[in-house]
């Protein structure tokens, strides 16, 4: 059992959530996370995303602060968009597994393609905001190079890059939360529109505490596994930034394959639990009505 006190209740705004309910959702999502076909579908996508991130990390070695900032955050937003599309297929496969329906991932991709494209268009503004803010930081770096007044401008605006980087981190968290909330909604409703998203946000107005707790539970396995992997990589010297960019990339390719293989069940669990959370919160909303 995941939790040791299943009878304990968390109460919010007159509603409640028991650890037993979370435990039940956790077990079912975890049980279906280990599947050969699902591994073969998720692993190549995660591996390509990991290599993409490592490529940008390798190119950032020896680059200016502005370029390193771009290469540090841009892959995260691109990977998030890939995960959004993949998540629709995973959630639909999870639904079929629970219902014991026969399906193939190729057919699910074909049937979900229009939804995936629509979902990427709707979430594109977050990446646009990032690119705009990154351009602002570039303009500030440019102003610092102006002879005479550059030093005073850099002193006066020294806090702005800090706030912008903090905004980047916030946008990354928002993107991850959007994956958690939007993916099951789009996949199970077979609808993707701005009106639907606004309606979903309105429904979640009184469900925020539930959504936060369920979101933290969904990312817990990913955080734990990645923390252990990065710690092992740091101790073993696999993430040696002193290497030349190309050497670092070639060396990190094989490491990223191991990372991807071990993280694949965690990614599957994340989307499974997001589907469980969506159904749970829909039941809560209907019960309140």
Q: What is the pLDDT of residue 3?
A: 46
Confidence of residue 33 (pLDDT cuts 50, 70, 90): very high
Of 221, 181, 222, the residue nearest 204 (C-alpha): 181
Residue 35 has pLDDT above 90, yes or no: no
Residue 55: other Cβ atoms inside 10 A: 18
Q: What pLDDT is stored for residue 239 in this prediction?
A: 55
d(CA 122, CA 125): 7
Q: In this predicted structure, what is the pLDDT of residue 4?
A: 45
Task: Categorize the per-residue pLDDT at 240 as very low, low, confident or very high, splitting at 50, 70 and 90.
Answer: low
Is residue 1 predicted with pLDDT exceeding 70? no
Give the pLDDT confidence of 264-286 residue by residue, as tens digits.
Answer: 999 999 999 999 999 888 887 77
Most confidently predicted of 87-91, 113-117, 280-284: 87-91
Interval 125-165: pLDDT, tens: 777 887 787 787 777 777 777 776 667 766 766 677 777 77
* Domain extents in the chain: 9-288
Note the pLDDT of residue 229: 85
- Please report, for residues 79, 81, 191, the alpha-carbon distance to residue 116 in angstroms, rounded to integers and kept in the order given: 14, 10, 10
What is the CA angle 173-176-179, rounded to 5? 150
The mean per-residue pLDDT over the stretch 20-33 comes to 90
Q: What average pLDDT does the structure give for the chain? A: 80
Q: For tokens 């749970």, name the residue.
A: 280
Q: Which residues contact 59 (CB under 8 A, 6 or more apart)?
A: 71, 245
Q: Are 74 and 168 in contact (CB under 8 A)?
A: no
Judged by average pLDDT, the poorest of 25-39, 163-177, 229-243, 246-260 is 229-243
What percentage of the chain carries pLDDT values higher than 90? Answer: 22
């Amino acid at each position: 059992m995941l939790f040791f006190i299943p009878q304990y209740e968390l109460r919010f705004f007159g509603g409640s959530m028991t650890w037993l309910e979370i435990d039940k959702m956790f077990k079912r999502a975890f049980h279906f996370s280990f599947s050969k076909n699902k591994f073969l579908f998720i692993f190549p996508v995660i591996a390509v995303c990991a290599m993409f991130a490592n490529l940008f990390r390798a190119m950032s070695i020896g680059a200016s602060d502005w370029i390193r900032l771009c290469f540090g955050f841009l892959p995260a937003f691109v990977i998030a968009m890939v995960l959004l599309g993949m998540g629709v297929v995973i959630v639909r496969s999870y639904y079929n597994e629970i219902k014991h329906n026969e399906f193939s991932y190729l057919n699910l991709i074909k049937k979900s393609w229009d939804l995936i494209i629509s979902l990427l268009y709707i979430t594109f503004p977050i990446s646009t905001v990032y690119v705009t803010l990154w351009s602002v930081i570039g303009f500030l770096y440019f102003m610092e190079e102006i002879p005479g007044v550059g030093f005073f401008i850099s002193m006066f605006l020294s806090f702005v890059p800090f706030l912008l980087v903090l905004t980047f981190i916030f946008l990354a968290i928002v993107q991850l939360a959007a994956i958690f909330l939007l993916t099951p909604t789009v996949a199970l409703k077979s609808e993707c529109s701005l009106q639907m998203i606004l309606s979903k946000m309105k429904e979640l107005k009184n469900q925020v505490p539930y959504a936060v707790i369920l979101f933290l539970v969904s990312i817990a396995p990913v955080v734990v596994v990645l923390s252990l992997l990065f710690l092992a990589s740091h101790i073993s010297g696999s993430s040696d930034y002193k290497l030349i960019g190309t050497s670092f990339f070639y060396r990190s390719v094989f490491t990223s394959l191991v990372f991807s293989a071990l993280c694949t069940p965690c990614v599957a669990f994340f989307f499974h639990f997001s589907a469980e959370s969506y159904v749970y919160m829909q039941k809560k909303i209907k019960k309140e009505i």
